Structure 1
């Protein structure tokens, strides 16, 4: 009997060891190489004092630092508000991790919403959640959340999954580019294929474009449409293009050449339709196409979304649209990028308090635009915008996320005063409806996720802005990546210049703050 028990124990231990070896494991080498984690504990301590915690979920405030120090990349720079906001956004993100009978879920609002699905889940920002959580060391939070969305209704998708448009397949593939977990990605592949088909059945027009109500894009009161009209919007069409591209890549990974071509063809069709039917040549902008197949004749921030997914063909002049981010009659405002052009006679005409997307600054849109902007600067040959423009907008994004002198993230804000329009409403606090740290990592510092084993870093920080910065403890492809800039060499004592390390070993360096790609 004892022999049998010992054999069972040995089998279990062996099984666990074999399973553990299938995924990148954290070990003693997988820790910060330059920065000291306890140097940043004061941020969590301060944030905890900012409130009486009236809503506590899976990781309450008294466990916030414990969660942060084991899960997040570390960052420091000489501009204190950037650094503070970086840690605040991690601190506020973990507030939305929720225990459910089916595992962890990620909420959008801390308070219950009548239109939410089971566990108070709302699908609108799921893509943002995946992009942000892909940098969290423990994969279970976002994986279990996605599993609930697609299998939590007795093995089927949640009832309100399609309450909002989504770019989930793209987000999951983008997450794979960070953690290289092929097993999880391909396990979700059938769900993503079914999801794509469902969107085609629900929202595809005869011409191949997709339509959506503004409200189901999460943009209730816009200038180009309405809550009930069926317009072909740059949002859902860009999302479906990106999802098709991601499914083509997943099909390729599976060795299914037929499906790869199938989804490549779908992406190609949508790309051509967006460029031919949503591009307003006179306005030089991607605009919503109305139910009558006429342009909405108004520039909105959603016109930048095609670049979030690198949809516009290069060298065809589409980049002219980005002149509008620098134009005060366009989207440039004192507290960030507006959601509609300021020159429109209908700008900010819909009142306040009913989720207006008629011009006010929404972090949801800001984070989409800044992701798109980083793609333009990295992937397109153009002279319309530069790294100074990107840094300035990131700076405004940081400055906007304060309320009464303290870090704050809410729903939307006045573009000229910075006042949070629903800041005193409980529902608005800690609104989990945007990204920030993904922008810091992939945009500002410039770690550009890719499928091969090379590490590419393309910073968008002008060399004259900061004399030093460091991003450390980034779990990427199973290794710890450290990126630092030290103008004098005296801050980190690793020599002058821009350097990239893998598990503490220098793999790329330059005297300048410029793009680096490891061998």
Structure 2
């Protein structure tokens, strides 16, 4: 409770309570959703915040969201409600679990690191950041001292996630405190998984993507996953080193990032297939296109050339990754698609995984935000995929989140397995906040918003109570001005004061 009090006092200092009077949205809709979610849950496991206290906790911690797409809005609140279930208080601080029940391969306190990057990206929008502070601290200091370490049991983009969290909260002291530990952790990855040519290998199971077409539990393949993660980590460590005025460390990671970018673009790219692929340990590229080939875009790794953007055609191709219930993890045309069984293990040979969907959507967002060559991709494609992702959150007519799904029927392939309920292994709220609404965190004192919502898709939406750079932001679109009573157009408020506006739904910047 002491940590909670400290976090609350920090919020006071940030002026949050004074800004509450300026909120446009109330918790009325949140309350209705929470009451429904609680009513269909048997609450077999209770962690730090039980269902009875969920409304209070969510009201104090999450940004509020209002939109005319009922599926997206409901899932937005459901995902926060489910994340709250995984918040666990331990004698050594707060953590977030992945499975709601005890997992055999978990470490101390049932912690698993495979979804860590997703957890940090999602959790960076919580008003009280003590939870994420503790969680990162657990993986950097508590787990490595435990008798059976689990941090490196799975590939990780922790450095990238930590830096992108900093871009939201601007907590420089946290970066200064942990920079050298993060640097040491990167070096540990190099000792464990680096080839003599400075590339990285990984078993598919240690990418948390076992039973894949391209990989194996004992095959040391050079994969787009870990090489992209380590590129993203190197870029982030360079930026954090610059923030801390550590020039030598910055130069070190600039060099590593440059090498990995060239390697992935030159050696993991298949010109014939127009796709990033796995390179086998024995040499040569796998003949399958897999969703992991989109991961380089998550970190803005590809060069801005038409040949790389051409890869995205496969996303909307029904022989590629486009299926009725989501983005498949392997191309549907491949002869080994969905051949490893169904629900017997954790098959990544084509089934729909929210983990991969989150990564692919972030990659597509980066393409639309940061690249000139977009090869037919646009806001409508992005919105359609987000809506499809939201619609996939169901089982037997009720809202649900599990591990992975049949691409044609939407069946959760683990069934209603207790371990799979509320599976905390992906993002959704972050995609709505940072990509669909388009709040793009920056290191300077500017607010940048670039909505990926198609023109004329919605007449209104509002994202409210977003803590960004110490201020509470409200972002709203009101085509007629009648929905929220703040006037027509696209408007942005900081602590209740309007700082930017536009007649149309387009990219906007403002000083804060």
- TM tier, shorter chain? over 0.9
Residue aligning to 1:88: 78
What secondary structure, in the 3-state scheme, does the structure 2 residue paired with 1:382 have?
coil
1:31–1:431 Cα change, 3 Å: farther
Q: Which residue, 302, 311, 317 being the options, matches 2:307? A: 317
Conservation of the 8 A alpha-carbon contact between 1:32 and 1:472: no
- Alignment-derived partner of residue 120 in structure 2: 130
Distance 2:102 2:146 in 1: 23
- Provide the residue aligned with 1:10 in structure 2: none
Contact 1:340 1:357 in 2 (8 A): yes
Partner residue, 1:382 = 373
- Equivalence for 1:5: none
Give the counterpart of 2:221 among 231, 242, 245: 231
Partner of 1:56: 46
User: Taking structure 1 as reference, are residues 20 and 503 closer, same or farther at Cα in structure 2, changes over 3 Å only?
Assistant: closer
TM-score (normalised: structure 1): 0.94
Matched, 1:182 2:167: no
Query: Could you tell me whether the CA contact under 8 Å between 1:232 and 1:290 is conserved in 2?
Result: yes
Q: Among residues 35, 38, 42, which one is paired with 2:28 in the alignment? A: 38
1:371-424 deviation digits (Å, cap 9, x = unpaired): 111000000012420000000000100000111111111100010111111132
Contiguous gaps of at least 5 residues in structure 2: 1-5
> Does residue 66 of structure 2 align to residue 110 of structure 1?
no
Q: Name stretches of at least 5 consecutive residues in structure 1 with no aligned partner.
A: 1-15
The verdict on how the C-alpha distance between 1:417 and 1:154 changes in structure 2, with shifts beyond 3 A counting, is closer
Q: Name which one, 1 or 2, has greater alpha-carbon Rg.
A: 1
1:436 corresponding residue in structure 2: 428
Q: Which whole-Å CA distance do the structure 2 matches of 1:22 and 1:77 have between them?
A: 29
Pick aligned residue for 1:358 from 335, 344, 349: 349
Task: Count the aligned residue pairs.
Answer: 503
CA 1:31–1:117: 2 relative to 1, 3 Å:
farther
Deviation at 1:438, TM superposition (A): 0.1
User: Are residue 173 (structure 1) and residue 163 (structure 2) matched?
Assistant: yes
How big is the shift at 1:39?
3.7
Kept in 2, the 8 Å contact 1:150–1:157? The answer is no
Are 1:93 and 1:432, in contact at CA under 8 Å, matched by a contact in 2?
yes
The equivalent of 1:476 in structure 2 is 468
How far off its partner does 1:30 sit?
Answer: 4.8
Matched, 1:194 2:195: no
What's 1:161 paired with? 151
1:151-180 CA-partner distances (Å, limit 9, x unpaired): 114857971110000000100000000000
Would the aligned equivalents of 1:31 and 1:480 in 2 still touch at CA under 8 Å? Answer: no
Distance 1:222 1:31 in 2: 51
Provide, for residues 434-481 of structure 1, a one-character-per-residue CA deviation record: whole Å limited to 9, x for no partner.
Answer: 000000001111101111111111111112211111000000000011
Change (3 A) 1:261 1:157: farther
**Which stretch shifts more, 27-36 or 416-425?**
27-36
* Stretches (4+) displaced over 4 A: 19-23, 153-158
Return the alpha-carbon distance in structure 2 between the equivalents of residues 78 and 313 of structure 1: 37
- Report the equivalent of 1:4: none
For residue 328 of structure 2, the aligned residue among 334, 338, 341 is: 338
Shift of 1:24: 3.6
How far does the alpha carbon of each residue in 1:192-229 deviate from its partner, in whole angstroms, 9 at most, with x for none?
Answer: 10110000000011111100000000001100111110
Cα drift, residue 27 of structure 1: 2.9
Matched, 1:491 2:483: yes
Aligned-residue CA RMSD (Å): 1.7
- 1:251 and 1:52 map into 2 onto residues whose CA distance is 47
CA contact (8 A) 1:43 1:84 kept: yes
1:263 aligns with 2:256: no
| C-alpha distance in 2 between matches for 1:488 and 1:22 | 35
CA contact 1:149–1:158 (8 Å) conserved in 2: no
Q: Distance in 2 between matches of 1:244 and 1:156?
A: 26
Secondary structure of the residue aligned to 2:19 is coil
1:386-397 alignment runs, 5 A limit: 386-397=378-389
Shift of residue 486, structure 1, vs aligned partner: 0.7
Whether 1:414 aligns to 2:406 is: yes
SS of the counterpart of 2:419? helix
Match status 1:368 vs 2:359:
yes
Please tell me whether the aligned partners of residues 367 and 374 of structure 2 are also in contact (alpha carbons under 8 angstroms): no
